[in-house]
Amino acid sequence: MGMVEAFVFGLISGFEKSWGPLLGSAGAVLNLFSLKNDIEKMASRRTTKGWVFGYLGRYTFSAALLLLGGLVSFETLLGVFFGLMNLKIVSFIAWRWTD
């Protein structure tokens, strides 16, 4: 989905600004792996201590990606935003077909 978005952004705003969706999609995948690691740590320790650090780390990383995209251009900022939302959108839509 990120590749398609990058291609569409490239056609609309020029290919030099089309790396935003790719950066956002990569950030979303890294956030997902970080969340998975935090859940595994909490399950092995049988406690929920330490979840705040992981939570703040993930959202600080997302904010840094958005800041980086915003410093380049508005189109890149939109691309990073849509890239970060890809995983959430796909998760929301995919549950309808997982029976």
Ordered by start, the domain boundaries in the chain are 2-12+19-94
DSSP assignment of 16-42, as one string?
Answer: GGTHHHHHHHHHHHHHHHHHHHHHHHH
45 or 23, greater pLDDT? 23
Q: Rounded mean pLDDT of 15-21?
A: 82
Q: What's the mean pLDDT when you consider all of the chain?
A: 86
Encode 36-55: b = buried (16+ Cβ within 10 Å), e = exposed.
eebeeeeeeeeeeeeeeebe
Q: Which DSSP state fits 46?
A: T
Tell if the pTM clears 0.85, that is, is over it. no
Contact by Cβ (8 Å): 35, 57: no
Kindly report, residue by residue over 34-80, the tens digit of the pLDDT: 999 988 888 888 777 777 888 899 999 999 999 999 999 898 899 89
